[in-house]
Amino acid sequence: MMGINKNATQMMAEIVSNKRVGAYNHIVFAVGDIASHAKPGNFVAIAVGGPNSAMVLRRAFAIYRTFDKGSNGGLLEIVVAPHGAGSTWLTNQLPGFKVDLIAPLGTAFGIPTEPVRALLVGGGYGSAPLFGLSEVLKNRGCRVDMVLGASTAMKIYAPLDGKRSVNSLTTVTEDGTTGITGKVTDVLADIIETNQIDIIYSCGPMGMLEAINVIAERLGVVHQCAIEEAMACGIGVCMTCVLPIRGEDGVVRMLRSCIDGPVVDGDSVIWGAKRVIPEGTWGAH
Q: Where are the domains of the chain?
A: 9-105, 109-228
pLDDT at residue 258, as a whole number: 92
CATH class entry, domain 109-228: alpha beta
Q: In whole angstroms, give the CA distance from residue 58 to residue 101.
A: 9
Q: What percent helix, strand, coil does the chain show, rounded to 5?
A: 25, 35, 40
Q: Considering only CA atoms, give the Rg of the chain.
A: 18
Confidence of residue 179 (pLDDT cuts 50, 70, 90): very high
pLDDT at residue 283, as a whole number: 66
**CA max distance for the chain:** 56
pLDDT above 90 for 268 = yes
pLDDT at residue 138, as a whole number: 94
Given the candidates 3.40.50.300, 2.10.25.10, 2.40.30.10, 2.60.420.10, the CATH classification of the domain at 9-105 is 2.40.30.10
pLDDT at residue 185, as a whole number: 96
pLDDT above 90 for 169 = yes
Confidence of residue 160 (pLDDT cuts 50, 70, 90): low
pLDDT at residue 231, as a whole number: 82
Q: In whole angstroms, give the CA distance from residue 47 to residue 9.
A: 14
pLDDT at residue 19, as a whole number: 94
